[in-house]
Structure 1
Amino acid sequence: MFSRLMAMVLATALMMINIPQYTAASVSVSARSAILMEQDSGRILYEKEANKVRRIASITKIMTAILAIESGKMDDMVKVSDRAVRAEGSSIYLKAGEKIKLEDLVYGLMLRSGNDSAVAIAEHVGGSLEGFGFLMNKKAEEIGMKNTHFANPHGLDDHEDHYSTAYDMALLTRYAMNNEIYQKIAGTKVHRAPNPNESWDRVWKNKNRLLTELYEYSTGGKTGYTKRAKRTLVTTASKENLNLIAVTLNGPDDWNDHISMYETAFKTYDIVEVLPEGIIEDIDEEYYKGKVYLKHPYNYPVSKEEKDKFKIDIKLQKPETEWEDSRAIPGVIGQATVYLDGEPIKKLPLYYKHDPIKEDKSLLDYFKGLFTSIAGVKTNG
């Protein structure tokens, strides 16, 4: 019962925070570092040296893609520079001086891992490779990627200070997957782009074999490889209501690593509604009864054994004397802390439902009165 868990306390700063809860899953992977994260809650379902700093190769391009998308310049025509054409490694075979839509560059970046595309994007969005590097690291800081530094837009081994972790790359992917344009591009199997230099269009097939042929629940991701980083892979998968993110760094058998993590999680976890949206009915305090509500439901992935291990602690502000006028009551009046097996996993703001303000006159009557006053009907003369 919520009433048993209620505590009346003085107001404190209330923040929506998420504390991912880790639980071991029975799975084995070949990768040196790995993580499996539930996308919506951020819960870590499996990890192996997930915070170990490593080289990341072309999964770097997830950051390049989301910055391009968020720039608002996807319809821009980008002039390809000599520097972009000279980029080593995988390529979409751009030619110096040609103009190509930024949107198509992002498709070439994500599907074919074009390093020439990465440089062209960086120069157009950031003004230069150095300027784009600043944007990459600024965004990484905003997302909370604490063990990451970007030195280029493609992930080539041309800088010693270009690195991340499996956990940080999962955070980045979780952020990117909130963007519908990114979702669409990362989940595209084949893209066709105009080719100004030839009579045929460019046709790019996604290198992510999990998406194109190996795993029916795959929804997107990004591949990577360099001699120093070895094989790196980020993928996403969804089944029923469970949305997952998998990351492996230096994984010689990465396709099977990801499938193994996904299959284990889909068999082990279900999404449950911990708190529904709307009025919290079990609050018996007279002042707040029928008035405290959640704006959104709170769902969380749990195993069968964990479903009965949730506890809710509700804390509400002590009513103030000046609240006799209900309009003085603040919108946020408390918080609900969700515990799983004794550990806090989420703090949710609680809102006060204000009664609609009753007016003596309708809005139409008000404007009628205003008009007649202006017209002089109610004045002497």
Structure 2
Amino acid sequence: MPATLHKPLLLVAFLLVLFAFSNFFSSDRGPVSAAPAPILSVSGEPDVVSASAYAIFALSDGTILASDNTTAVLPIASVTKLATAASIVKNANLEETVTVTTSDLLAEGRAGKLAVGEEYTMRELLFPLLLESSNDAAAVYERATDDAVITQMNQLVEEAGMTTTHFADASGLSDRNVSTVSDLVTFMQYLTKEHQSVLDITRLKTHVGPYSGLVNNSPVIDGGYLGGKHGYTVAADRTLAAVFEEQLGAGPVEVGYVILGSENLVADTEILRSFVRDSVRFE
């Protein structure tokens, strides 16, 4: 054999031996395992809050991190408006124009700054409804849909898997607008999957409408707020369904908070969020 052929043949033989050895040692090691995914762990319980019922939960899968009285059926006040908005987005022609009438302004409160004769698209009314909790905007939706929006709200929550929730109006003023903490946990997960645009509006601090500027009146909008709705009536006291981004160990986690029957919503929210920051680990 010519000498010039020896070198390529030797190289091939070397590579075959190297391949055999690498297979031998890799088979001894077995399959390579991926690093375990971070998990949430909880220690202790939150300090006492004024709320009648509450839950803290991981938005991703609904894991309850802390809770109390989650099955009590309670009025929810303007948390209702999240369902109103989702029903309008799902069922209405958002480009349809409606004109504000005198009857629309008979509802309690002047939030939203609507005036007789002003024209809005169904889409544009979502902003006063959600940012300033306009009962007038809710009244426009009821009139413009011949109250179909209320029927659609009840259908929507049924489709979402909520079994104890019922709506009697689109504003939340009625004490017959009721739910449970457990149902509202389900609802917040549903919103993030099916109607994220509704929560996106609730994150805005301000919005310039066709006739006036609007300011978000949520008392808990700062510090990681990802959207939600608060409310108040005498019967419901103070209520909240909201999502925050919390920095926990291995990274940020989207955590939901539902609070019903609170005497001091800001204080209760801070107590529950402090518990999450101090006692929940993601690692």
CA distance in 2, matches of 1:44, 1:101: 39
Cα-Cα RMSD:
2.3
SS at match of 2:86: helix
Structure whose residues are more often helix by fraction: 2
The runs of 5 or more residues in structure 1 that have no matched partner are 1-20, 196-201, 273-381
* Pairing of 1:37-48 with structure 2 (within 5 A): 37-48=57-68
Where does residue 91 of structure 2 map in the other structure? 71
Give SS of 1:241's match: strand
Do structure 1's residue 100 and structure 2's residue 117 form an aligned pair? no
Give the gaps of 5 or more residues in structure 2: 1-39
Equivalent residue number for residue 328 of structure 1? none
1:128 matches 2:146: yes
With the length of structure 2 as denominator, give the TM-score of the two structures: 0.77
Tell me, yes or no, if structure 1 residue 223 matches structure 2 residue 223. no
Q: Residue in 1 aligned with 2:277?
A: 266
Determine which of 145, 153, 168 is the counterpart of 1:151. Answer: 168
Q: 1: CA distance between counterparts of 2:62 and 2:109?
A: 34
Q: For residues 138-187 of structure 1, what are the alpha-carbon distances to aligned partners after superposition, in whole Å with 9 as ceiling and x for unaligned?
A: 11111121111100001113xx5321112212222221123331232011
Aligned length in residues:
239
Q: CA separation in 1, counterparts of 2:122 and 2:43?
A: 42
In structure 2, the CA distance between the partners of 1:138 and 1:23, relative to structure 1 (3 Å rule), is farther
1:179-218 mapped onto 2 (5 Å cutoff): 179-195=195-211, 202-211=212-221, 215-218=222-225
Per-residue Cα deviation, 1:297-333 (whole angstroms, up to 9, x for no partner): xxxxxxxxxxxxxxxxxxxxxxxxxxxxxxxxxxxxx
1:141 aligns with one of 153, 158, 167:
158
What's the offset of the Cα at 1:112?
A: 0.5
Percent identity over the alignment is 26
CA distance in 1, matches of 2:173, 2:41: 32
> Which residue identity does 2:271 align to in structure 1?
S
Asked if 1:56 corresponds to 2:76, the answer is yes
User: How far, CA to CA, are the matches of 1:123 and 1:171 in structure 2?
Assistant: 29
Contact 2:42/2:279 (<8 A) preserved: no
With the length of structure 1 as denominator, give the TM-score of the two structures. Answer: 0.58
Supply the distance in 2 between the matched residues of 1:237 and 1:270 (Cα, whole angstroms). Answer: 16
Post-superposition shift, 1:90?
Answer: 4.5
Q: 1:218 to 1:97 in 2, by over 3 A?
A: same
Alignment-derived partner of residue 45 in structure 2: 26
- Asked if the contact 1:59–1:222 (Cα under 8 Å) also holds between the matched residues in 2, the reply is yes
The CA deviation at 1:271 is 4.8
Q: How does 1:1-381 map to 2 (within 5 A)?
A: 25-27=44-46, 28-71=48-91, 73-124=93-144, 127-129=145-147, 131-157=148-174, 161-178=176-193, 179-195=195-211, 202-211=212-221, 215-239=222-246, 240-271=251-282
Distance (Å, rounded) in 2 between the aligned partners of 1:86 and 1:250? 26
Q: 2 CA distance for matches of 1:29 and 1:89?
A: 29
Higher relative contact order (CA 8 A, sep 6+): 2
Q: 2: CA distance between counterparts of 1:83 and 1:254?
A: 32
